[in-house]
Amino acid sequence: MSAFQFELLATESAGPARRGRWTTPHGVVETPVFMPVGTIATVKGLMPSQLKEVGVQKILANTYHLALRPGSELIAELGGLHRFMNWDGPILTDSGGFQVFSLARLSKLTDDKVVFRSHLDGALLELSPERAVAIQEQLGADCIMCLDECPAADLPHERIRLAVDRTTNWAKRCRDAQTRPDQALFGIVQGGVYRDLRERSAQALLELNFPGYAIGGLSVGETPAQMYETLDWTVPLLPTDKPRYLMGVGRPVDLLEAVCRGIDLFDCVLPTRNGRNAMAFTHEGAIRIRNLKYQKDLGPLDPNCSCPVCQQFSRAYLRHLFMVNELLGPILLSWHNVAYYQQLMAEIRAAIEADRLQDFRREQLAAWGEVA
């Protein structure tokens, strides 16, 4: 029997939203789920025990960055990524494909591979499909990603078609290179905001029969409306009996809208990045804690949040920490934001189980001040 099992526990009667359970070698993941990003084997500023305390089930780490420092060979020698970072739950590693987009100025792309000039010291790092898989096998994550080309949203149709075909060819090479049966290799559907290219990508990847499928190339410059429309086209192309992962998308409203379109897995740096920059996510919308109006506010960040930060500290105190550049401020807001995302996903799961997701969506969009 495979180490991975995905089962649907409930489906929405009025739409494609699903409530699932994904069994992995390092534990069970209740879906839909949000994965905090631990790029360099740490979710910035937070200990694994703090993540567990607020309900984090699974985290993400970055192939490109870990290949540079400390090196996948060293991590393997030290017992693998789980032991290295003291996280015993499931881990997903990306392939380095997003860095083809984000570090385009430092990379050279060919049909065979991508060569990066390290943003740290200028050293060369070659990532072929085979090398990307080998690095991820050394890291030992539960879920690994095919190397793909993530094109910018504003590229012309023909240029994105080339990225789709390159991604398909690389996916075949990744599948052929994989040697570990205890890692689920996901194919990545590309195609920008072009419906015909999303269909072209999905059809080719489905023939390779991956255990899960990701949708990449969104949140790279397109509007939210374009992203939602692209999901409307793309999600129905993917198997119903395998997990569906929307890569790098993380505003709370985007998570809710994507779940309503049938997505199961998410990741994004927003909870911790925005937390470090004095923004807290709440059930009533985002709060910029440096705002003067919070100077004497003894209330919690979010009255509807049960996280340790909201239970112990006031908005006034948290503002003070940021105003005096105290390190504890970014740590606490990051912790709260990660907790809020976990609570939001738990509420979404409960709404699907109760078959009231559309009611939940309307109520939550109104609370955030978004147009339903």
pLDDT at 129: 97
Domain covering 32-268 assigned CATH 3.20.20.105 in the classification: yes
Is 267 designated active site?
A: yes
Lowest mean pLDDT of 18-32, 112-126, 315-329, name the range.
112-126
Name the catalytic one among 142, 148, 254, 267. 267
CA distance 303 to 233: 38
* Predicted confidence (pLDDT) per residue in 252-305, tens digit: 999 999 999 999 999 999 999 999 999 999 999 999 999 999 999 999 999 999
Closest CA to 289 of 246, 321, 266: 321
Q: What is the DSSP string of 257-280?
A: HHHTTT--EEEESHHHHHHHTTEE
* Predicted confidence (pLDDT) per residue in 86-128, tens digit: 999 999 999 988 898 889 899 999 999 999 999 889 989 999 9
Name the catalytic one among 94, 142, 254, 264. 94
> Quick one: three-class SS letters along 101-136?
HHCHHHEEECCCCEEEECCCCCCEEEECHHHHHHHH
Cis peptide before 70 (omega within 30 of 0): yes
Is 165 designated active site?
A: no
Residue pair 115/107 in contact by the 8 Å Cβ criterion: yes
* Predicted confidence (pLDDT) per residue in 179-210, tens digit: 999 999 999 999 999 999 999 999 999 999 99
Count other Cβ atoms within 10 Å, centred on residue 142. Answer: 23
pLDDT at 286: 97
Per the DSSP assignment, residues forming a β-bridge with 213 are 187, 244
pLDDT at 1: 64
Which residue's entry shows tokens 């996903």? Answer: 345
* Predicted confidence (pLDDT) per residue in 41-84, tens digit: 999 999 999 999 999 999 999 999 999 999 999 999 999 999 99
Q: Is the pLDDT of residue 324 over 80?
A: yes
What residue segments make up the domains of the chain, in order of their start? 32-268, 269-367
Alpha-carbon dihedral sign for residues 59, 65, 69, 72: positive
Q: Is the pLDDT of residue 371 over 90?
A: no
pTM for the full model?
0.97
Question: CB pairs under 8 A, 24+ apart, for 179-184?
Answer: 179/137, 180/137, 181/2, 181/3, 182/3, 182/25, 182/142, 183/136, 183/137, 183/140, 183/141, 183/142, 183/143, 183/144, 184/4, 184/24, 184/142, 184/143, 184/144, 184/211, 184/212
* Predicted confidence (pLDDT) per residue in 86-96, tens digit: 999 999 999 98
Question: In this structure, what are the phi and psi dihedrals at residue 146, rounded to the nearest 5 degrees?
Answer: -65, 145
| 328 burial level (CB within 10 Å; 0-12, 13-18, 19+) | middle
pLDDT averaged over every residue in the chain:
97
pLDDT at 323: 98
